[in-house]
Amino acid sequence: MLLKNSDIPGGNRSPHPVNESNTRRKPLVAVAGASGFVGTHLRRALEEEYDFRALSRSPHIVGENIGKGTTQWQRCDLYSLPRLSQALLGCDFAIYLVHSMAPSSRLMQADFEETDLLLADNFIRAAEDSGIRHIIYLSGLMPADSAEELSPHLRSRLEVEETLRSRSIPVTVLRAGLIFGPGGSSFSMLVNLVRRLPFMLLPAWVDTNTHSIDINDVCRAFRLCLSEPCYRGDIFDLGGHQPMTYRQMILKTSQLMDRRCRSMDLPLNFFKISKRWIALFSGVPAALVGPLIESLKYDLRAKPNPLLQALAGKMVTFEDSFEKAVDSHGRPLPNPRRHTQLADARHIKKARRARSVQRMPLPAGWAAQQVAAEYGEWLTRRYGGLIHAERCAAGVLRFFALRGRITLLELTPTPYSLDDRHRCAFYISGGILSRDVAPPGRFEFRLFKDRSCLIASIHGFAPMLPWWFYARTQAVVHLRVMRAFGKHLARVSISDVSQH
């Protein structure tokens, strides 16, 4: 069950209060990922036509920007469905720029594919509940050959597309490759490699064609999709520069920087090695470099479409993109989030919270509450000598040790998921293994029936044990237990299929 207007203070008021002195209101656009490279440029480019509500989990970004300019900054945990629903109230449109590569907790037991799926499902559910009329998602270019096996990065983006487009709100998908512009990671990586390496080893992936685009042309595409109903709810490839291989981009950048490029070819892709040395010399985090170069093994070119035709004739060239994105010494201009990233890292470390997200098979016909009940029963059967789980009539789930003498954890059902067959969530409300913190940690099962899977997750868990000890003991045990539960559900699924 999602938050309704009546559940939120002031929720029965009109979401768009009328200003008597000026009854013509600019549309309000919620932006998830507003402080990043694309989000920052979008808000600046479209601020004359739209008002923005920027959603960010960072207290430093919100604190620095609140009250400045026309953007409404709001701190919001995108992993919390009720808080996200509340944050989107009153907005007309939404822009989704989230890709969960960076850590959001001190301990992350999660692959980005699982967290991206969970966040996308949260966003579309909250948007639907809050009355959003149209969403635009920035995805990645896909290979022309649909039979080709996708990299984890592109596979995740496609899954997010499908999740966002699975409900009632029209969702426009813009698929872009490398986006060049001041502060962009793709551009900074390219320029810094040319600047810092007198000699390069070039793996096989540098000879695959890709289609880059300038950030200003991306902003133009968003403007058209927001303003013109004919583009609403469709999928469009974006490509502005002439298609080139990454080798050609390196050579073109060397020419523009008046530097000689020496190189030696390697016969294979060497993704793991490439990720490490590119991260080292480019200054771009390895978490961003890896997905980027894995995507470059495909031939990624924008397919002709009506939106590209509307943008044609004014596209920024590769040379102009370079000139606008470097300083007088040829150094790439900094990422707009660079000055807050260190502060965010310190805040995450000090908070001492953990996040664990695992994808598991979903037995046919099961509801989320049935999965939660099975988890407690299975845990008792498997570890009955050590752990015993009990669930009372009110739905509170408790885990005991030493034959019930010690309460390890207590989980209290959240009021927002009691009537939702696809979601069962608990607050971590007690037990000797957790600290009493605000907001409390959450434990959740989320079903994705169209994918025959579920996501089991813990968010914001605050351990009582000293952090160094927790990370080496309790956290390791939890991950092993959840993986074992996933295998149990897989066996249940196979057994159900064989019986039918």
CATH number at residue 23: 3.40.50.720
Residues 381 and 316 in one domain: no
Q: What is the pLDDT of residue 6?
A: 32
Residues 339 and 465 in one domain: no
Q: At what angle do helices 112-130 and 152-164 cross, to 10 degrees?
A: 20
The C-alpha torsion from 163 through 169 and 175 to 179, rounded to 10°, is: -110
Q: Which of 19-23, 259-263, 323-327, 361-365 has the lowest mean pLDDT?
A: 19-23
Residue 430 pLDDT > 70, yes or no? yes
The reply to whether 162 falls in a domain is yes
Residue 311 Ramachandran class (φ > 0 left, ψ -120 to 50 alpha, else beta) = alpha
The reply to whether 351 falls in a domain is no
How many domains does the structure of the chain reveal? 2
Residue 233 pLDDT > 90, yes or no? yes
* pLDDT band per the 50, 70, 90 thresholds, residue 225: very high
Residue 198 pLDDT > 80, yes or no? yes
φ/ψ (deg, to 5) at 442: -135, 145
Single-letter residue type at 489: L
Residue 127 pLDDT > 80, yes or no? yes
Average confidence score pLDDT of the chain:
88
Peptide bond connecting 439 to the previous residue in cis, omega within 30 degrees of 0: yes
Residues 481 and 364 in one domain: yes
Residues 9 and 50 in one domain: yes
Residues 360 and 341 in one domain: no
Whether 14 and 8 have beta carbons less than 8 Å apart is answered as no
* pLDDT band per the 50, 70, 90 thresholds, residue 496: low
Q: What is the pLDDT of residue 147?
A: 63
Distance CA 126, CA 411 (A): 24
Residues 203 and 70 in one domain: yes
Q: Which of 24-38, 66-80, 246-260, 329-343 has the lowest mean pLDDT?
A: 329-343
Q: What is the pLDDT of residue 161?
A: 97
The reply to whether 236 falls in a domain is yes
State pTM to two decimals: 0.90
Q: What is the pLDDT of residue 24?
A: 63
Residue 125 pLDDT > 90, yes or no? yes
* pLDDT band per the 50, 70, 90 thresholds, residue 115: very high
Q: Which of 197-201, 202-206, 214-218, 337-341 has the highest mean pLDDT?
A: 214-218
| Domain-ending residue, one of 346, 364, 388 | 346
Q: Which of 59-63, 233-237, 416-420 has the lowest mean pLDDT?
A: 416-420
C-alpha 246, offset from chain centre:
26
Residue 152 pLDDT > 80, yes or no? yes
> What's the domain range around 195?
5-346
* pLDDT band per the 50, 70, 90 thresholds, residue 399: very high
Q: Which of 165-179, 201-215, 282-296 has the lowest mean pLDDT?
A: 282-296
Residues 6+ apart with CB under 8 A from 395: 412, 413, 418
CATH number of the domain bearing residue 418: 3.30.530.20
pLDDT (average), residues 72-76: 93
Owner of token pair 């303003």: 227
First-residue to last-residue Cα distance in the chain: 32
Residues 341 and 361 in one domain: no
Per cent of the chain over pLDDT 70 is 93
Q: What is the pLDDT of residue 500?
A: 54
Q: Which of 2-16, 185-199, 379-393, 462-476 has the lowest mean pLDDT?
A: 2-16
Residue 492 pLDDT > 50, yes or no? yes
Residues 43 and 127 in one domain: yes
Whether 479 and 458 have beta carbons less than 8 Å apart is answered as no
The reply to whether 492 falls in a domain is yes
Q: Which residue has the higher pLDDT, 342 or 440?
A: 440
Residue 7 pLDDT > 50, yes or no? no
Measured CA to CA in angstroms, residue 481 lies from 33, 410, 456, 475, 491 at distances of 33, 17, 12, 10, 15
Q: What is the pLDDT of residue 335?
A: 77
| Domain-ending residue, one of 303, 318, 346 | 346
* pLDDT band per the 50, 70, 90 thresholds, residue 1: very low
* pLDDT band per the 50, 70, 90 thresholds, residue 19: very low
Residues 329 and 390 in one domain: no
The reply to whether 406 falls in a domain is yes
Residues 409 and 280 in one domain: no
Residues 387 and 337 in one domain: no
C-alpha 263, offset from chain centre:
35
Q: What is the pLDDT of residue 219?
A: 98
pLDDT (average), residues 115-134: 97
Q: What is the pLDDT of residue 146?
A: 67
| Domain-ending residue, one of 313, 346, 379 | 346
Kindly report the CA angle at 235 between 233 and 241, in degrees rounded to 5?
Answer: 135
The reply to whether 151 falls in a domain is yes
Residues 108 and 40 in one domain: yes
The reply to whether 476 falls in a domain is yes
Q: Which residue has the higher pLDDT, 79 or 329?
A: 79
Q: Which residue has the higher pLDDT, 125 or 186?
A: 125
Per cent of the chain over pLDDT 90 is 63
Residue 54 pLDDT > 70, yes or no? yes
pLDDT (average), residues 297-308: 93
